[in-house]
């Protein structure tokens, strides 16, 4: 097996190149009457997706599991979106220099092929952004609106009216999807009414819970690095009240080419199968 190759384990076995793996899922062929919503996480074997950042404060992806091969696939998912979900917490960290750059997708020259792919689809250079926030306490970094990229804000009906007015003065409109908190199904329906068909959550475990609790998440991509980290506090891919949602396995791949051959699994779970296997 070459260094670029991975092994597909399910639903059948095959040796495939890493580059183009998630583009091959052709998510933009998944259109129905409602938007197609998908999310992505990278985790250790014991389920850790973030650890405290001792240098900058806040939380960060553990360096023991972050890797370029997973990052390539993150970009392949982001490029297929019309809209990327983020949060006020992330934008506060972003403005403070604490956050990993995940919203300006494929800016890196290494991903020039993805820029070309998006252009070939007739899509704008960057997906739009939607900030889901209850507090509305965050800045809008100028870098995220560069080139005419649209930034939407969605909150609940009991949000602070002063913050609503301030953000409306900056962005033009603040939308609501829920009475006391943003509700997943109402949020997705609202985005669909605004013309967004493919929505990618680059947000954290609370947004994942919001979407799952309302049956609004169609697909979950999970990279599981074959390492155990331990430590505290514990942060999993879903945070919130207990729920029970079935997400059957759709695809499973093994990549042996990271961390001294410890390897990682790329899994795809969901309720809608892809058009092309």
For the entire predicted model, the pTM comes to 0.93
CA–CA distance, 56 with 54 (Å, rounded to integer): 6
Report phi then psi at 111, rounded to 5: -110, 30
Q: How far is CA 63 from CA 79, 127, 203, 259, in A?
A: 24, 27, 18, 11
Q: Which CATH number fits domain 5-270: 3.40.430.10, 3.60.20.10, 2.60.120.260, 3.40.50.300?
A: 3.40.430.10
Query: For residue 67, what are its two tokens?
Result: 């890797």
Q: Is the peptide bond before 89 cis (omega within 30 degrees of 0)?
A: no
Query: For residue 94, what are its two tokens?
Result: 């972003």
Per-residue pLDDT of the chain (277 residues; tens, 9 = 90+): 677 899 999 999 999 999 999 999 999 998 788 999 999 999 999 999 988 877 776 778 899 999 999 999 999 999 999 999 998 888 887 777 766 666 666 677 889 999 999 999 999 988 999 999 999 988 887 777 776 788 899 999 999 999 999 998 888 789 999 999 999 999 999 999 999 999 999 899 999 999 999 999 999 999 999 999 998 777 899 999 999 999 999 999 999 999 999 999 999 999 754 433 2
* pLDDT tens-digit readout, 148-181: 788 899 999 999 999 999 998 888 789 999 999 9
CA–CA distance, 3 with 256 (Å, rounded to integer): 9
Q: First vs last Cα of the chain: how many Å apart?
A: 21
Among all chains, which residue has been given the structure tokens 């360096």? 63
């Amino acid at each position: 097996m070459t260094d670029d190759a991975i092994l597909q384990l399910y639903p059948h076995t095959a040796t495939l190149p890493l580059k183009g793996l998630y583009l091959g899922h052709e998510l933009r062929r998944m259109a129905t009457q409602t938007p197609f919503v998908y999310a992505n996480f990278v985790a250790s074997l014991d389920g850790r997706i973030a650890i405290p950042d001792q240098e900058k404060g806040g939380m960060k992806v553990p360096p023991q599991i972050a890797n370029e091969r997973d990052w390539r696939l993150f970009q392949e998912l982001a490029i297929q979106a019309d809209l990327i979900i983020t949060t006020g917490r992330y934008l506060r960290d972003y403005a403070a220099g604490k956050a990993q750059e995940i919203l300006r997708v494929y800016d890196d020259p290494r991903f020039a092929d993805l820029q070309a792919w998006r252009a070939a689809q007739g899509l704008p250079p960057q997906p739009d952004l939607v900030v889901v926030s209850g507090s509305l306490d965050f800045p809008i970094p100028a870098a995220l609106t560069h080139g005419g990229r649209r930034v939407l804000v969605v909150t609940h009906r009991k949000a602070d009216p002063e913050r609503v007015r301030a953000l409306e003065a900056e962005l033009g409109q603040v939308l609501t999807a829920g009475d006391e908190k943003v509700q997943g199904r109402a949020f997705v329906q609202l985005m669909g009414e605004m013309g967004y068909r493919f929505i990618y959550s680059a947000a954290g475990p609370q947004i994942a819970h919001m979407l799952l609790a309302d049956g609004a998440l169609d697909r979950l991509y999970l990279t599981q690095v074959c390492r155990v980290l331990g430590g505290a506090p514990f942060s999993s891919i879903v945070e919130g009240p207990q729920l029970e949602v079935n997400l059957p396995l759709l695809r499973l791949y093994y990549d042996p080419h990271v961390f001294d051959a410890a390897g990682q699994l790329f899994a795809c779970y969901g309720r809608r199968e892809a058009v092309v296997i």
